[in-house]
Chain A
Amino acid sequence: MGHYFPEARFGKLGTDSHNNSFNCSTFPGILTMLRTHFIKAAALFLLLPTIAGCQTNPPLQNSTGVSSMDVDSSRKGPVSGVGMEGQDIVAMTDTMMRDMLAEQIFADTGKRPRIIIDSQYFVNESSQAINKNIITQRLMVNLNRAARTRMQFVNRQNSAMVEQERELKRSGTTDVGTTGLAKAQLGADYRLSGKINSLDSRNTKTGMVQRYTQISFEMTDLETAEIVWSGIYEFSRAAADDVIYR
């Protein structure tokens, strides 16, 4: 052909200039050509209203792609593999929260034990790269919303931020605020720790992959080192789909 015109750019109705070249050699030839053009124009004239009448949606810009969709984060979505996914994090943190709140040491006694929940002592030893903050943050937020009257949450991750403000207040650079000064930052009674582990197996003939994932949680007394609560969440999945977790 000599020229390459991508179909997506010009569409199927695009004209090819090579086919429309004009030849004036004979009169009958001209008549034949005019008749052909007339038939083509008439056909196009009849076709246009039909196309316009059938078209109810705007034309697709990317007919071979899949447009984005909102999926329920608590259920398996269209892209899933054998590893830990959004629905697992939602289910796991919900289960741990309910389990923790059913424990007697966190009952509503008016004492409000102080707890640190962050990812500092949450270790990922699994084969999957994962941002551990997704787990600990969801657990902390859910617990905080459900049981603020039963437990106090201490922000140890940002203790430097608190210390900086305390210094400004005490040096007179700022006033003391509206809630007053405290003798010291809160000391914690319990801290969350945990581990993510996994066990992978692969069938070399079929390429099928199976993974057992185990996430364990522990709440440790920061004075005596006693584990006052523990929970485990585990699942096994097998698939031959090629999914990459990022």
Chain B
Amino acid sequence: MIRTLVAASLCALASGCATQSTPPTYAGCVTWDRQAGAPTLSAVSVLSPELAKVIGVQEVFASRTGTGMAAVQTAIYNCSDVDVVVLMRTRFNGDRGQSEPPSAWKTVHLAPRGQATYGESAVSAATSRISVDIYDANRGQSQFAPGQTYTVPPQ
């Protein structure tokens, strides 16, 4: 009797009752976990492993503002059918390391299957290289403290 129940439960799970921590993505949408390492997107880092399974980066475009400062535009898209809110910021580097402090985290809303463009400009003329960080906006700050237990993050 117990064996039958266990077998039935396993079958139910296998047949579509299984849950996952990230929303499913629609067919054909390339998420960041399959894009990471692409040479054209090397300036982008997605810091949340869950987010990497939901969003993708379309392009990163560097330019100069009217005042001659370095600027970046990054287009991202949502591969899921739920709203996704991300935080994005830019790090600025020059010939001698960091040229100015990173920008503040900016909130970017992605509609279901939607796209959004994030832009930032430098304030120092010494900035010559720019990189963009993307993080999960709905993730609270959890800090390391000795004596606590932690879950193993998804790879």
Residues of A within 8 A of B (CB): 56-57, 69, 71-72, 74-78, 87, 90-91, 93-95, 97-98, 101-104, 106-108, 146-147, 235
- How distant is the Cα of A106 from the Cα of B105 in the complex, in angstroms? 24
**B20 located at the interface, meaning its Cβ lies under 8 Å from any Cβ of chain A in the complex:** no
- Closest A residue to B138 by beta carbon equals A76
Bound complex: CA A78 to CA B139 (Å): 10
**B108-146 Cβ-contact flags toward A at 8 Å (1 or 0):** 000000000000111110000000000001001101001
Q: Is the interface of B mostly helix, strand, loop or mixed?
A: loop
Contacts of A98 in B (CB 8 A): 103, 120-123
**Which chain B residue lies CB-closest to A92?**
B104
Mind listing 21 A-B residue pairs with CB under 8 Å?
A: A56-B147, A57-B147, A69-B143, A71-B141, A74-B104, A78-B141, A87-B105, A91-B105, A91-B106, A93-B104, A94-B103, A97-B123, A98-B103, A101-B121, A103-B67, A104-B66, A106-B67, A107-B68, A108-B68, A146-B100, A146-B123
Does B69 sit within 8 A of A, measured CB to CB?
yes
CB-CB under 8 A from A87, the residues of chain B are 104-105
Nearest residue (CB) in B for A71 is: B141
Assess whether A102 is in contact with B69, with CB atoms less than 8 Å apart.
Answer: yes
Partner of A101, one of B69, B104, B105: B69
- The answer to whether A76 and B141 touch across the interface, beta carbons within 8 angstroms, is yes
Chain B interface residue count: which class? 20 to 34
Q: Which residues does chain B contribute within 8 Å of A235, judged by CB atoms?
A: 107
Q: Which residues of B contact A (CB under 8 A)?
A: 65-69, 71, 87, 100, 103-107, 120-124, 137, 140-141, 143, 146-147
CA distance A188 to B69 in the complex (A): 26
Contact A146 B124 (CB under 8 A): yes
Q: Is the CB of A95 within 8 A of B67?
A: no
Contacts of B67 in A (CB 8 A): 101-104, 106-108
Please judge, given known A-B contacts A146-B123, A147-B123, whether A76 and B140 are in contact too, CB under 8 Å: yes
Cβ-defined contact, A94 with B141, below 8 A: no
A95 and B141 contacting across the interface, CB-CB below 8 Å: no
Closest 4 CB pairs of A and B: A94-B104, A146-B123, A91-B104, A107-B67
Chain B residues near A108 (CB-CB < 8 A): 67-68
- Closest Cβ of chain B to A241, distance in Å, is 12
Q: How far is the CA of A11 from the CA of B100 in the complex (A)?
A: 54
How long is the Cα–Cα vector from A1 to B71 in the complex, in angstroms? 75
Q: Are B66 and A72 in contact (CB under 8 A)?
A: no
Residues of chain B with a CB closer than 8 A to A97's CB: 123
Chain B minimum-CB-distance residue to A90: B104
Give complex CA distance A74, B122 in Å.
18
Q: Find out whether the CB atom of A91 lies under 8 angstroms from the CB atom of B107.
A: yes
User: Which of A93, A95, A104 is the one whose CB lies under 8 Å from B106?
Assistant: A95
Add 4 more A-B contacts to A76-B137, A101-B121 (CB < 8 A): A91-B105, A94-B104, A98-B120, A147-B123
- Cα A147 to Cα B122 in complex, Å, equals 12
Q: Which residue of A lies closest to B137 (CB)?
A: A76
Which of A71, A78, A102, A147 sits near B121, CB closer than 8 Å?
A102
Residues of chain B with a CB closer than 8 A to A103's CB = 66-67
* Assembly CA distance A5 to B138 (angstroms): 45
CB distance from A58 to the nearest CB of B (A): 12
Residues on B with beta carbons closer than 8 Å to the beta carbon of A94: 103-104
In whole angstroms, how far apart are the Cα atoms of A227 and B68 in the complex? 23
Bound-complex Cα distance A106 to B107 (A): 26
